[in-house]
Amino acid sequence: NAGVTQTPKFRVLKTGQSMTLLCAQDMNHEYMYWYRQDPGMGLRLIHYSVGEGTTAKGEVPDGYNVSRLKKQNFLLGLESAAPSQTSVYFCAANRTPNEQFFGPGTRLTVL
């Protein structure tokens, strides 16, 4: 039981490149979330999903897209990366709204 895993752990992109971050959970949880963490900013919600096939916007959704084709996976896409998207990205999952389990994070640098 690995909990919540994220792939990759680190990535460096050039401005304008695209990439997809993968979040996987083996806990059969309905709810999944993508956050970004910036220095001195806490975590901000990008997008979330309340079940397979559903997604919704969070606090800072611009420049990102998500998909939840399978219950266990939640993908975060950057179509055209910008330096402002340099951040640490965390995925979380929970069965009920009051206990979110976080992945280890993906550190993304956009040059």
Partner 1 sequence: GEDVEQSLFLSVREGDSSVINCTYTDSSSTYLYWYKQEPGAGLQLLTYIFSNMDMKQDQRLTVLLNKKDKHLSLRIADTQTGDSAIYFCAESIGGSQGNLIFGKGTKLSVKP
94 binds partner 1 (CB under 8 A): yes
Taking contact as CB under 8 A, which single stretch among the options 19-27, 66-74, 75-83, 99-107 is the one that binds partner 1? 99-107
Burial class (CB in 10 A: 0-12, 13-18, 19+), 106: buried
- The smaller minimum CB distance to partner 1, of residues 14 and 96, is found at 96
Judge contact between 29 and 59, C-beta under 8 A: no
Strand partners, 106: 89
11 binds partner 1 (CB under 8 A): no
Q: Say how many Å lie between the first and final Cα of the chain, rounded.
A: 36
1, amino acid identity = N
Tell me the number of residues near partner 1 by CB under 8 A. 26
Site residues for partner 1 per CB under 8 A: 4, 31, 33, 40-45, 48, 50, 56, 58, 90, 92, 94, 96-105
